[in-house]
Amino acid sequence: MIILGIETSCDETGVAIYDASRNSITHKLHSQISLHAKFGGVVPELASRDHVRKILPLVQGVLSDAEINLKDLSAIAYTAGPGLIGALLVGAAFAQSLSFALKIPAIAVNHMEAHLLAPLLEPNPQIFLFLHC
C-alpha cells in the first residue's frame, strides 16, 4: 500500500509518500515563514495562495524521489482540520480531485490525531507512554 499524504493546515505545505512494503517515508516541506514574517504572523489568504502554488511541484518531487508514478498510489490522505479553513481547502480540493481522477480513496485526517499517531509509522513503534499513567 502506497499513500500520498498532504498537509496544508497553516503556513507549511507538506507532502509525503508512505510505502508500507518498504516501510519508508519520502517527504518534502515548503515553509512560508519568510512570506509572513513582515506581517508579524500568518496571513490566512497569503497562506492559502502559497499552498496553491507549491502543492503540485512538491507532489511531483516526492513521487520522483520515491521512484513511483501516480498509478502506483493506493490512497491519498489529507489534513481535514483543525487549521486555517482556506489552507485546509487547498489540500482537500487537491487530494479529492486527484483521488477522483485516479479512482482511489481520499482519507480525511485530523491534524492533532496525526501528530499523536505518527510515531506508529516507525519501523519499531513504541507503545504510547501516556496510556500507562
The residues spanned by each domain of the chain are: 2-132
pTM above 0.85, yes or no: yes
| pLDDT, position 119 | 81
Per residue in 85-122, pLDDT (tens digit) is 999 999 999 999 999 999 999 999 999 999 888 888 77
Domain 2-132 has CATH 3.10.290.10: no
Segment 11-29 mean pLDDT: 92
| pLDDT, position 72 | 97
Segment 9-23 mean pLDDT: 93
| pLDDT, position 94 | 98
55: left (phi over 0), alpha (psi -120 to 50) or beta: alpha
Per residue in 37-81, pLDDT (tens digit) is 999 999 999 999 999 999 999 999 999 999 999 999 999 999 999
Buried b (16+ CB within 10 A) or exposed e, 42-74: ebbeebbebbeebbeebbeebbeebebeeeebe
Confidence of residue 128 (pLDDT cuts 50, 70, 90): low
